[in-house]
Amino acid sequence: MHRLLLLGCLWLLAALPASSIFQRPTGTPAPPRLQYLLEPLHPTVHTQRGATATLPCVLRALPRNYRVKWSKVEPANYRENIIIITNGLYHKNYGPLSPRVRLRHSHRYDASLTITDVALEDEGRYRCQLVNGLEDESISLTVHLEGVVFPYQPSNGRYKFNYHEAKRACEQQDSRLATYQQLYKAWTEGLDWCNAGWILDGTVHYPIINSREPCGGRLLLPGVRTYGARDKQKDRFDAFCFTSALQGQVYFIRGHLNFKEAGQACRNHGAALAKVGQLYSAWKFSQLDRCDGGWLADGSVRYPITTPRERCGGLPDPGVRSFGFPSKEMRTYGTYCFVG
């Protein structure tokens, strides 16, 4: 009986025209069709810190008395911040991006936005909006920075940062709080960390590859576990920081130096103690590989490994290894310096 009913349904579907089977449900509006703006072929623009990136926005035609407005959506407060407004003849820049943006304007239909000296905070979603009375329309593009996410906690232990302190700590280490997309991508690439940390939108997460008892139990599947949105003033966690390519070089000076001597050794070479984000960037983008622990600017001691081997910690995966925050008087380590 069930088989006959199924066959009858299939026959009925086959007899109906395709348009009646796949038509949009009644009351569901069709997505607005762009009349003046061209849909971008590639809605994501991939770039690195320090590079120049162009976000395409091209018009099919020029309506009367139109304006084009570029803005950026900020995930921390969900606001759109205006970057530039043009009427085709004149333009005005707005906000902190103002010194580094211009219109490409390679022809009179071109309203593409060019960002020079791309910074970490430039990653995110941008909107090009044609303002034309009742016929306003817009396209969205995403700037994606190639980079690396790393967990960060201070010298006095885990779960010490409120949101604002976590944000400041990442910035002090030549990085910024990671977005959820950046943390998720880092998890797919192998980031496994049991401590929960703040990310840019004010939520708290931790990425797990190998399920285990101290990290939610063995029965929970691997993934980016979430605590959701937390109180930015009162709640305390670690931080997940994001950094991109360096405009400079990290190098190692061998020696048995305490923290103060390490800083002086770098200054003697016209450099400064490297920050944690700079060491991660050199490991990721310059394949910096050393078995030697070295002081960093925050008082921690770390070393970068791109080719894992037994005598360098014995761990099977590449990464930046840490000795934590030893006494600054200890004369055991060399130093990692950064010169821009």
Structural domains present in the chain: 37-145 (2.60.40.10), 147-243 (3.10.100.10), 245-339 (3.10.100.10)
- φ, ψ for residue 238 (rounded to 5)? -85, -165
With CA atoms as reference, report the closest residue to 139 among 111, 117, 109.
111
Does residue 9 surpass a pLDDT of 60? no
Question: Residues 32-75: pLDDT tens digits?
Answer: 678 899 999 999 999 999 999 999 999 999 988 899 999 998 86
Answer whether 38's CB lies under 8 Å from 128's CB: no
Q: What pLDDT, on a 0 to 100 scale, did the predictor assign at position 188?
A: 95
**Which ranges constitute the DSSP H helices of 120-258?**
163-172, 180-188
Backbone angles phi, psi at 280, to 5 degrees: -60, -40
| First-residue to last-residue Cα distance in the chain | 78
Radius of gyration (C-alpha) of the chain in whole angstroms: 26
pLDDT digits (tens, 9 = 90+) for 124-173: 999 999 998 767 899 999 999 999 999 999 999 999 999 999 999 999 99
Q: Would residue 135 be called left, alpha or beta, if left means φ above 0 and alpha means ψ between -120 and 50 degrees?
A: alpha
Q: What share of the chain in percent tops pLDDT 90?
A: 77
Token output for 112: 């593409």
Consecutive H or E run containing 301: strand 301-305
Model pTM? 0.82
